[in-house]
Amino acid sequence: MSTVTSLSQLVESYRLADVVRLWARERLEHEEIVTRALARAVISDGLKMQSIDARWEAGGGAQKIAFNGQPYVGFCAKPNASMCVLPSSALDHLLAIIHRAETPSLQKLSEEFLIREDFRDWCNEAGLTLPSFWFSDSSESE
């Protein structure tokens, strides 16, 4: 039987900026390093980052999506991976971080979020220890 040690471990999704801040603090690493690692994970490794909740994409719920005049694109880092739906500006910034070593801006990625299960899958695939701010010790073996 597992016990929840923190309310944050019950959260199903976090904004990217929150993951960066919490994980950087936990790992005692600079936020820029964590942001660069997550950008590479999205662009190269297939970590799914979203701006649009997948529940709104299907089932006729499209009228709930507020695009605010901003172009969105679908992106897959790997063949047969699930698609990320991101503003084109966010994808451009992620690509600039990876390909041109641009300084990461959490403001430019302010609407993007990560879902707990997608993040867990990526950590496990990358061989990283799951962050304790989001996962309990017992959830690592799931």
**Of 44, 16, 11, whose CA–CA distance to 111 is shortest?**
16
**Host domain of residue 54:** 7-141
| Locus of tokens 């299907």 | 58
User: Is residue 74, in this structure, part of any structural domain at all?
Assistant: yes
Q: Is residue 2 in some structural domain?
A: no
What is the C-alpha separation between 47 and 87, in angstroms, rounded? 16
Angstrom distance (rounded) from CA 135 to CA 125 = 16
pLDDT of residue 9: 73
> Mind listing the pLDDT tens digit of every residue in the chain (142 residues)?
455 567 767 788 899 999 999 999 999 999 999 999 999 999 999 999 988 765 555 555 545 556 666 788 888 988 887 888 889 999 999 999 999 999 999 999 988 999 999 999 999 999 999 999 999 764 444 4
Is position 24 within any domain?
A: yes
In the chain, the number of structural domains is 1
Whole-number pLDDT of residue 53:
61
